[in-house]
Homo-oligomer: A and B are copies of this chain.
């Protein structure tokens, strides 16, 4: 099966109108994505779909980056990619001229992630399996052959990675059955966006508890007094047994994070997420030491396996929040999951956005069945919006992700949604005022 063409589209949802997704650093996000389709010459018209989540403006830059990488995937057969997954991955992430723009970070890495994920979607579809099943069913040798150990082999060798995977082969069928039976625990962020007023927050907390959630996350950062007031509101509505997480979205400096968490610690947060710059490994390490026992989480903006490696080495985080798009797709996520296992750090994927819930459910289930074998301190983010645009949306029931069953990576969007929300010509963007505002011109 040969990949004969690549299509990439700029898809934007005007979420800034309702302040869904608002936090200390992203006050008016338009949740968006660069959406990739790999078309093949297969007789059953199989397509590989992938996307990378973006925040509105700038999606066109990621689209341009996908186009720049297109020549590295179009014309290849799925069989040759599968047989040389590591080399294929490196051909995208370390291309001779394009690597100058990263390397392995920012726009060019987001674009590589979308393409890499589309390839995995295609592979899973050809096997007729959801992606997590494909990953679980691969032999340890096959999975390790997909990982680029460059820059991480000082903490995780190929043999160690194999050892971690082989050690968890026993009990695999039982854990798979358990996941299919009971799903994977979720927490919700839908109640805690910064732009919501108090009445809406309380109402959403109550709805979340009624829906079966025991863990809930709130946004903090801009004003510690206001944060404390909102934390009290949420804590009161949640009750003392509920688990409350806080997320500062990189708003603070190191000293400010420590000072703020000394105030907000009163509301018993289970973790503080992104207390400062996602690049600041040593800063996180200091914050963690000084605010213990409050746990420190990060990951949605951690650019690649090299930075994650250092977060583990420096004992800078308690929670590893992998993101399905930020790093270079499935190959690199698996590398990070294996490093986390070696260092004993639980993986709690970042979700929300557009399609992230759809993606990361597969990664968390793979982690449970094939790597960690444990739910301890592990839970996956859930944000209940924009799922209606997906062909096989993620489903959370009674506070748990239901195991996906459709073949692929669950990321295929509905043609009608793509047409309506394509920027700037989709029908949802028909107002010139809306387009001008989205483009930042007003």
Residues of A within 8 A of B (CB): 25-30, 54-58, 60-62, 64-65, 68, 71-72, 94-110, 149-154, 250, 253-255, 276-283, 286, 301, 303-304, 306-307, 309-310, 313-314, 439-441
Contacts and interface: CB of A to CB of B under 8 A. Distances in A.
B71 A65 contact: no
Given A57-B68, A255-B154, A310-B281, A102 B106 contact: yes
Q: How many subunits of this chain does the assembly comprise?
A: 2
Contacts of A65: 58, 61, 107
A61 B253 contact: no
Contacts of A278: 103
Candidate in A97, A101, A103 with the most chain B CB atoms within 10 angstroms: A97
Contacts of A55: 96-101
A310 B110 CA distance: 24
A239 to B, nearest CB: 34
Given A105-B106, A281-B282, 7 more contacts: A28-B96, A28-B97, A29-B97, A61-B61, A61-B108, A106-B106, A281-B281
Contacts of A279: 104-105, 151, 303-304, 306-307, 310
B303 A105 contact: yes
Contacts of A282: 281, 309-310, 313-314
A419 to B, nearest CB: 23
B108 A108 contact: no
Contacts of A281: 281-282, 310
Contacts of A309: 280, 282
Given A28-B96, A57-B95, A108-B107, A151 B280 contact: yes
A391 to B, nearest CB: 25
Given A101-B106, A151-B253, A280 B310 contact: yes
Contacts of A440: 71-72, 95, 97
A286 B439 CA distance: 45
The 5 tightest CB contacts between A and B, nearest first, are: A106-B106, A55-B100, A107-B107, A154-B254, A56-B97
